């Protein structure tokens, strides 16, 4: 099993870290055989697995089910469970129930978005023995405040704020931070001031590692095309071809053939 010490050893050796999102057992089994070190069971599951238009509707019990499936499929990887919208903005007791659910489902760390108002909770989680990954820049749980999924940190003020937030996360004991959709120049400046493991998505190349949503990098949908996305497969077309070939065989009476019958 990959552990937090190995991740820091890789960072200090200048070896880049690869992280993918995953929400299900079958995909996790394949990731487990790969060179990817970290698996994020992201609240993007709300959109990717459940067809929602934002990450807001998913709750921590559903997230825990996804974490459990991924932990069974990828026992060798470092698994991070995402704390969903508002699950860490209620009472400390309720927040810790969410952390407990994700950790007992098999996560080795939890991730949460933003800093302001989360300070005492982050400290409490860290002091409870749970590694915490922060998330700055485009934090999708704040999509309604941002007025859409937009690049963050464009003004000097916003850049100073994000650098300050990263410093606060580090002071609170976070081991890592995801930087989402911020200019490369800001990332370059930020990484100079932190010893956390920095993981980027649309944040340039200066980070310690990258994360992509698995379905995006596999090309499940040609409709989603942000600038930062590199597609490694055209799964949409591969699936379509396979589904149509299967339907054609069934309709023509070519499936099953003699060798496929008992």
Residues assigned a catalytic role = 180
For the stretch 185-205, what's the b/e string if a residue is b when 16 or more beta carbons lie within 10 angstroms of its beta carbon?
ebbebbbeebebbbbbbbbbe
Closest among 41, 32, 43, 42 to 2, alpha carbons compared: 32
> Which residue, 232 or 255, has its beta carbon nearer to ligand KIV?
232
What is the distance, to the nearest Å, from the Cα of residue 100 to the centroid of all Cα atoms in its chain?
A: 19
What is the nearest approach in angstroms of ligand KIV to the Cβ of residue 19? 8
> Which residue, 106 or 137, has its beta carbon nearer to ligand KIV?
137
Q: Which position among 42, 81, 137, 219 is part of the footprint of ligand KIV (CB under 6 A)?
A: 42
> Which residue, 43 or 208, has its beta carbon nearer to ligand KIV?
43
Structure-block tokens of residue 50 = 């459940």
Question: Considering the rule CB under 6 A, would residue 102 count as an interface residue with ligand KIV?
Answer: no
Q: Which position among 39, 178, 191, 217 is part of the footprint of ligand KIV (CB under 6 A)?
A: 178
Q: Which position among 37, 43, 165, 208 is part of the footprint of ligand KIV (CB under 6 A)?
A: 43
Stretch touching ligand KIV by CB under 6 A, among 29-37, 41-49, 96-104, 239-247: 41-49
- Round to whole Å and give the CA distance between 215 and 136: 22
What is the nearest approach in angstroms of ligand KIV to the Cβ of residue 205? 17
Closest among 109, 111, 84 to 179, alpha carbons compared: 111
What is the nearest approach in angstroms of ligand KIV to the Cβ of residue 256? 39
For the stretch 117-142, what's the b/e string if a residue is b when 16 or more beta carbons lie within 10 angstroms of its beta carbon?
ebeebbebbeeeebbbbbbbbbbbbe
Residues making contact with ligand KIV (CB under 6 A): 21, 40, 42-44, 82, 178, 180, 201, 211, 213
């Amino acid at each position: 099993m990959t552990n937090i010490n190995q991740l820091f050893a890789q960072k200090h050796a200048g070896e880049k870290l690869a992280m993918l999102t995953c929400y299900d057992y079958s995909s996790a089994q394949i990731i487990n055989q790969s060179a990817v070190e970290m698996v994020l069971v992201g609240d993007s599951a709300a959109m990717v697995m459940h067809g929602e238009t934002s990450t807001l509707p998913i709750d921590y019990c559903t997230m825990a089910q996804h974490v459990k499936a991924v932990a069974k499929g990828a026992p060798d990887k470092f698994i991070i469970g995402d704390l969903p919208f508002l699950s860490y903005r209620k009472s400390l007791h309720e927040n810790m129930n969410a952390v407990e659910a994700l950790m007992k489902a098999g996560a080795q760390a939890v991730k949460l978005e933003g800093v302001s108002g989360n300070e005492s909770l982050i400290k409490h989680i860290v002091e409870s023995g749970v590694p915490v990954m922060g998330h700055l820049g485009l934090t999708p749980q704040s999509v309604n405040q941002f007025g859409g999924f937009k690049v963050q940190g464009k003004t000097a003020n916003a850049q100073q704020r994000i650098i300050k937030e990263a410093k606060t996360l580090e002071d609170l004991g976070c081991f890592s931070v995801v930087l989402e959709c911020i200019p490369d120049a800001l990332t370059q400046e930020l990484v100079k001031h932190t010893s956390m493991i920095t993981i980027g998505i649309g944040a340039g190349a200066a980070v310690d590692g990258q994360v992509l949503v698995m379905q995006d990098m596999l090309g499940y949908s040609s409709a989603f095309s942000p600038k930062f996305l590199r597609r490694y497969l055209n799964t949409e077309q591969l699936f379509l071809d396979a589904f149509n070939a299967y339907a054609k065989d069934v309709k023509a009476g070519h499936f099953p053939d003699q060798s496929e019958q008992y």
